[in-house]
């Protein structure tokens, strides 16, 4: 129905979106799309009511995060930094798992600096570092906190010390035979065995997917391996044991 709405115009498109909004998983994006159509048609009041419905009923959705971030950018472009700051803080509070969250919290700090709120800025930058340490905005936050991590002009020649582990960490999945072969460094035999162990499984566990990512990395397929492990964040599994949650990057 959302696809039909994108191919339609006016009230017909809105009717499709109203039908789509009856499905909880589709409702947030349907409401956001409907608000855009209403605004484009000049019905500002109905558009505002639809956006408020999105925030009230589906405030933690990705569509709500997108709306909050767009509002922050619009206000910043107009020079309304206090409003931009408030919208970004709303995203940080209600959508902490959104891909937009690290960027929004970083800009909470940047706008706080411009609003002469230095402690709020420090708090925001520290939050990015603690919650999203692998993100680009963690590096930017570290720079603004005065950490010696290099900035755009100085990062290239930096050579931070690397401490190599004394032993080889074992993957979290696989049979005892696979684990022993891996421990001995016999990866040419270990990886085909692991591939055979997971070949018939319709869906991999978190540990198996992580191990599969390691396999890709070990074979030099770095981008695929990184994406395989990174996508663990997108899984919607039941609650996991702490060790496995750590693999998936759960807070």
User: What pLDDT is attached to residue 142?
Assistant: 96
Give pLDDT tens digits along the chain (251 positions): 888 878 778 788 888 887 888 888 888 888 888 888 888 888 889 889 989 989 999 899 999 999 999 999 999 999 999 999 999 999 999 999 999 999 999 999 999 999 999 999 999 999 999 999 989 999 999 999 999 999 899 988 988 888 877 777 889 999 999 999 998 889 999 999 999 999 999 988 888 999 999 999 999 999 999 999 888 877 766 555 455 566 655 55
Give the whole-angstrom CA distance, residue 118 versus residue 106: 13
- The answer to whether residues 215 and 191 touch, using CB atoms and an 8 Å cutoff, is yes
User: What pLDDT is attached to residue 88?
Assistant: 96
Task: Tell me how far apart the terminal alpha carbons of the chain are, to the nearest angstrom.
Answer: 35
- The answer to whether residues 240 and 206 touch, using CB atoms and an 8 Å cutoff, is yes
Q: State the pTM of this model.
A: 0.70
CATH architecture of 72-144: Alpha Horseshoe (1.25)
- Identify the CA nearest to 103 among candidates 74, 78, 68, 77: 68
Residue ranges covered by each domain of the chain: 2-57, 72-144, 176-248
Give the whole-angstrom CA distance, residue 38 versus residue 78: 22
């Amino acid at each position: 129905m959302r696809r039909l709405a994108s191919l339609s115009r006016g009230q017909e498109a809105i009717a499709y979106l109203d039908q789509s909004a009856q499905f909880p998983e589709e409702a947030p994006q349907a409401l956001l799309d409907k608000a855009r159509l209403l605004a484009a048609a000049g019905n500002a009041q109905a558009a505002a009511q639809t956006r408020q419905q999105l925030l009230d009923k589906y405030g933690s959705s990705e569509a709500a995060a997108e709306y909050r971030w767009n509002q922050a950018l619009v206000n910043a472009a107009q020079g309304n930094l206090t409003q931009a700051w408030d919208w970004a803080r709303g995203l940080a509070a209600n959508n902490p798992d959104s891909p937009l969250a690290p960027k929004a919290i970083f800009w909470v700090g940047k706008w706080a600096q411009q609003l002469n709120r230095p402690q709020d800025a420090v708090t925001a930058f520290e939050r990015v570092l603690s919650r999203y340490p692998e993100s680009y905005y963690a590096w930017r936050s570290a720079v603004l906190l005065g950490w010696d991590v290099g900035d755009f002009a100085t990062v290239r020649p930096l050579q931070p010390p690397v401490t190599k582990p004394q032993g080889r960490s074992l993957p979290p999945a696989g049979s005892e035979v696979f684990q022993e072969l891996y421990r001995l460094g016999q990866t040419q035999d270990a990886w085909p065995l692991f591939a055979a162990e997971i070949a018939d499984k319709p869906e991999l566990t978190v540990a198996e997917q992580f191990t599969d990512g390691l396999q890709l990395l070990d074979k030099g397929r770095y981008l695929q391996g990184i994406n395989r492990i990174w996508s663990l964040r997108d899984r919607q599994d039941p609650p996991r044991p702490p060790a496995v949650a750590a693999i998936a990057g759960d807070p």
